[in-house]
Amino acid sequence: MATLWALAPSLDATALRSLFGASRAALLGFLGEPLPTVELARRLKVAPSAVSQHLRVLYATGLVTRARGGRHVLYRRSRLGDQLVV
């Protein structure tokens, strides 16, 4: 009962990597600003197809949003994703 109203512990980067894996945690970190798949792949030094697979999962879970920006689809963290990264 004494800890019933205690604040939840803050999430650190190590815990986030353990939960999502290093690549998805890194993607969430980069997505504070809208970025296309090709730029994310460049920053992570992986193939765009690998980034695309991770983004599909993050989008399906509501952690990122997407919007068309010209010829690219831009991804950005959702509010829920922001809560995990902050």
Q: What is the CATH number of the domain that holds 25?
A: 1.10.10.10
Whether 49 is covered by a domain: the verdict is yes
Whether 52 is covered by a domain: the verdict is yes
**For residue 36, what are the β-bridge partners?**
74
pLDDT at 58: 93
Number of folded domains that form the chain = 1
Q: Which residue has the tokens 């999430």?
A: 11
Whether 54 is covered by a domain: the verdict is yes
Q: What are phi and psi of 30, to 5 degrees?
A: -70, -25
pLDDT in tens, 7-66: 665 556 677 777 778 888 899 999 999 999 999 999 999 999 999 999 999 999 999 999
pTM equals 0.79
**Residues contacting 38, CB < 8 A, separation 6+:** 48, 72
